[in-house]
Amino acid sequence: MSINLKTIKHISKLSRISVDEQKAEKLAGDLNAIFKFIEKLNELNTDKVEPLTSVAETTLKFRSDEVKNQNIRDQIIKNSPEDNEDFFVVPKVVE
Amino acid sequence: MSDITSQSLTSLVKNIKEKKLSSEDVTKAFVKRSEKSKELNSYISEDFSNAINKAKKFDEKPNLDLKLPGIPMAVKDLFCTKNIRTTAGSKILENFVPTYESTVTQNIWNEGAILLGKLNCDEFAMGSSNETSFYGNVQNPIDKGLVPGGSSGGSAAAVSGQLTPITIGTDTGGSIRQPASFTGTVGLKPTYGSCSRYGIVAFASSLDQAGPMAQNVQDCALLQEVISSYDNKDSTSIDFKRNQYSKDLTKDIKGKKIGIPKEYRVEGMPKEIEELWQKGITYAKDCGAEIVDISLPHTSYALPTYYIVAPAEASSNLARYDGVKYGFRAKGENLIDMYEKTRSEGFGAEVQRRIMIGTYVLSSGYYDAYYLKAQKVRKLIKNDFDEAYKKVDAILTPSTPSSAFKIGEKKDDPVSMYLNDIFTVPVNLAGLPAISIPAGHDAAGYPLGLQIIGKAFKEQEILNLAYAMEDKINFKNKISDWWIK
């Protein structure tokens, strides 16, 4: 299997990472080398193997869903790259 | 002053408790040495003047019952520290100031330790040489131009170079043990679920664990005792009976069965690594342990499995960096354009590569062929260990297939960089604890480490084995202070 530029463009769209032609070619080369290395897994027959989803053989614990007001609204807003003091600001999405 | 920074954590704690040293003496000594060590580039953010003030405050009313009374400590910049910038080695978090503290660091401050600063690491802990950090390479104190390993490279260099008495790193595929091995220090990756992941910048959630990096095994045991706790803020934290690791430490390992897996004898492994391993076997025997040959047949499938599972989880975890609520934002013509440019300019090349691999293996039409396949092989790898542990108490292997390499040497070849983690990755996939201890030097005088892998939750067992073997190995790190003018 080989990853071509079309596939790279598709993955880049899904990943929300813009790539230009030069970067796409470099990525295609890198990803092909990595996937060649990954293909080794095809040597194994895993038809009867259960997938491992967690190493800890316990069930997840539930905790009550409590509201805790820590009064950190201003600090959280301050971390945003653009805000109007009350809201996060993003480029216009509706006309 | 230099005699303060060369002391072990255990000895500093003892001296503070016996009032032979004050927290201010100790903190100032490490601050002074850190300031003279800029060339190592161990720190991303320094908090030195606050640290000295906190030390003075501690000395006014010292609580000497604490486990880390007034001990200064720098930590990897992957742990969120309240009101102190946390970057994860990335441009995208350059200005991020957390509003909360990670559980592991909170446990450390609760025992009286004082933050010195935040240590350099590979971007989002993705790397084996600290070269992917947005904040530059870290120099290995062992020799100029040498990588300290990664991703906890700044942490390893800071302990080895004596800029901090001890530190914490995180280990997803070897990020504590490999840099420990490259810098002649001790590094422990605890059992998955032993240390809370709350407040640690996430890379691959089913593999990430925090752990101590220290000058010796006793210090390592003491910090493990402090950081390991059950935490309901991490839904994968496990409630098990934790030892008093430093108090329960013993060199009596008589009759313990240690497995030697033949599959770790990989092609092209340097002769000196093989010799180190043999030496390790002899030391273990000298300590009264019994050596048993074992097989972990799926070892060679661990790295390919890891390079599906870890990027898949990373691509999902890193979806949150969109330039909206925090972090870097690039200008875009519309919302989607802003997302795409933010992530393209904010993430470095290795992080983008892994996000793309992860996105691909999880994408429609490829999920079964890659991700599901990897989860099945991961099961086989875990089964290998379960089977081996019917016969042995622990497993002894080399920590890395080579000693530290030169900065730039492997940077442009991702696969050769990934091969660094060949001996450490299986442990993360199986969720087991493992410790790397320095055990010798190669021809160039660079340190080499041995890895002891334990059963799940048996940190005490591997700490004891490491403690007994450390005594026999009698390793001395060769640090010339070359970077101090």
Q: Please give the backbone phi and psi of residue B33, each rounded to the nearest 5 degrees, phi first.
A: -70, -40
Helix locations, B23-152, DSSP H: 23-35, 48-60, 103-110
Among chain B residues, the shortest Cα distance to A64 is held by B232
Task: Note whether B423 and B396 are within 8 A (CB).
Answer: no
Q: Are the beta carbons of B382 and A11 separated by less than 8 Å?
A: no
Q: What gap in Å lies between CA A75 and CA B96, rounded to an integer?
A: 11
Tokens representing residue B165 in the block: 């008495």
For chain B, the structural domain boundaries read 2-259+390-473
Range B135-147 average pLDDT: 97
A contacts of B316 (beta carbons < 8 Å): none
pLDDT value of position B1: 43
| B11 vs A56 pLDDT, higher one | B11
Q: Does domain B2-259+390-473 have CATH number 3.30.465.10?
A: no
Q: Which residues of B are identified as catalytic?
A: 76, 151, 175
pLDDT value of position A69: 85
pLDDT in tens, B347-400: 999 999 999 999 999 999 999 999 999 999 999 999 999 999 999 999 999 999
Q: What is the mean pLDDT of chain A?
A: 91
CATH architecture of A5-43: Orthogonal Bundle (1.10)
pLDDT in tens, B360-373: 999 999 999 999 99
**Residue B292 CB coordination number (10 Å):** 14
Query: Which amino acid is residue B280, in one-letter code?
Result: G
Task: Give B228→chain A minimum CA distance, Å.
Answer: 16
Q: Are the beta carbons of A51 and B375 separated by less than 8 Å?
A: yes
For residue A80, give the nearest of B315, B324, B353 by CB distance.
B324
Task: Give A84→chain B minimum CA distance, Å.
Answer: 12
| B196 vs B266 pLDDT, higher one | B196
Q: What is the mean pLDDT of chain B?
A: 96
Q: What gap in Å lies between CA B192 and CA B431, rounded to an integer?
A: 5
Q: Are the beta carbons of A16 and B340 separated by less than 8 Å?
A: yes
Q: What gap in Å lies between CA B73 and CA B106, rounded to an integer?
A: 12
Q: Is the pTM of this model over 0.90?
A: yes
Helix H, strand E, coil C: the string for B178-222 is HHHHHHCCEEEECCCCCCCCCCECCCCCCCCEEEEEECCHHHHHH
Q: Are the beta carbons of B193 and A19 separated by less than 8 Å?
A: no
Q: Please give the backbone phi and psi of residue B329, each rounded to the nearest 5 degrees, phi first.
A: -135, 135
- ipTM, two decimals, is 0.95
B contacts of A3 (beta carbons < 8 Å): 360
pLDDT value of position B95: 94
Q: Are the beta carbons of A91 and B304 separated by less than 8 Å?
A: no
Closest by CA to B465, choosing from B205, B202, B251, B288, is B251
Q: Are the beta carbons of B353 and A31 separated by less than 8 Å?
A: yes
How big is the CA angle at B295 (ends B292 and B297), to the nearest 5 degrees?
Answer: 170
Whether residue B2 has pLDDT greater than 60: no
What distance lies between CA B288 and its chain's CA centroid?
A: 29
Whether residue B408 has pLDDT greater than 80: yes
Among chain A residues, the shortest Cα distance to B322 is held by A16
Task: Give A27→chain B minimum CA distance, Å.
Answer: 7
User: What percent of chain B stands above pLDDT 70?
Assistant: 100
Task: Note whether B479 and B160 are within 8 A (CB).
Answer: yes
pLDDT value of position A1: 58
For residue A27, give the nearest of B356, B377, B431 by CB distance.
B356
Among chain B residues, the shortest Cα distance to A55 is held by B431
| B17-31, B55-69, B270-284, B401-415: the lowest-pLDDT one | B401-415
User: What percent of chain B stands above pLDDT 90?
Assistant: 95
